[in-house]
Amino acid sequence: VRIAVLGTGTVGRTLAARLAGLGHEAHVGTRDVEASLAGTQESWDGSGTFAQWHANNPDIALGAFAEASAGAEVVFNATAGEGSLDALGAAGDLDGVVIADVSNPLDNSQGFPPLLSVCNDDSLAERIQRAHPGAKVVKTLNTVTAAIMVRPADVGGGDHTMFVAGDDEDAKATVRSLLEAFGWRHVVDLGGIRGARAMEMYLPMWLQLMGARGTPMFNVKVVS
Ligand SMILES: NC(=O)c1ccc[n+]([C@@H]2O[C@H](COP(=O)([O-])OP(=O)(O)OC[C@H]3O[C@@H](n4cnc5c(N)ncnc54)[C@H](OP(=O)(O)O)[C@@H]3O)[C@@H](O)[C@H]2O)c1
């Protein structure tokens, strides 16, 4: 399946590499290919500069947002929350496309910990859905660190919970099958895209837990 991953950060790199490893045709999208390849900042995940990561993953195509998204059945939004609407706006016609939205609407203007730029009565995922009424937005994976997104078995033997929220049942089924391929065994459907509010508002809890545990390598499990 042709899948676009919009985002060159840790999340975009991690998702694209795993999807390619699973045999998908992965395309990574960025604002400016040359600028991204010229970037000298090394990622905290050990994958180096973007150019180094790209050289180590030669099978993954790289293009501007529209180029990467063209013909994709699924588009992962792995861009900074503050830029997500612009990134998807630049991605071309997304009618009929499944947008798997893994972003968080972080507002870093007040320092650490970040605030949420949208919450309570709206969410970034809903804003994306409103901006692209012909697309099918599914919120998922924003509640865990990048490494766990694609290899849940690396913590707690994979015995923990992922969430999905979205208005289109077929799109959720498509995303669920990708999650299962990553190794997710417990996926809780929170209903329509409005459920993304709760998933995004989990972020302050995630940050507290990271401080308490001293590592981002954790997740929660829903039991009853
Ligand atoms: N890091 C994690 O483990 C983690 C876990 C869960 C969720 N998330 C969420 O996943 C998303 C990606 O996180 P990340 O840490 O990989 O990287 P990030 O630094 O949050 O985002 C980098 C990407 O955002 C794009 N971007 C930034 N500003 C933009 C703008 N104004 N317009 C268009 N695009 C813009 C960049 O484009 P260029 O390529 O052009 O530079 C780059 O591709 C974020 O929303 C984050 O909150 C992260």
pLDDT at position 93 is 95
pLDDT at position 54 is 97
pLDDT at position 46 is 93
pLDDT at position 145 is 98
pLDDT confidence bin for 28, thresholds 50/70/90: very high
Tokens of 212: 């308490």
Give residues (CB < 6 A) around ligand 1.
Answer: 7-12, 30-32, 36, 78-81, 83, 86-87, 102-104, 106, 142, 145-146
Question: pLDDT for 105-150, tens place per residue?
Answer: 999 999 999 999 999 999 999 999 999 999 999 999 999 999 999 9
Q: Which atom of ligand 1 is nearest to the CA of 13?
A: 16
pLDDT confidence bin for 192, thresholds 50/70/90: very high
User: What phi, psi does 131 have (nearest 5°)?
Assistant: -70, -25
Rounded distance from Cα 87 to ligand 1 centre (Å): 10
> pTM of this prediction?
0.98
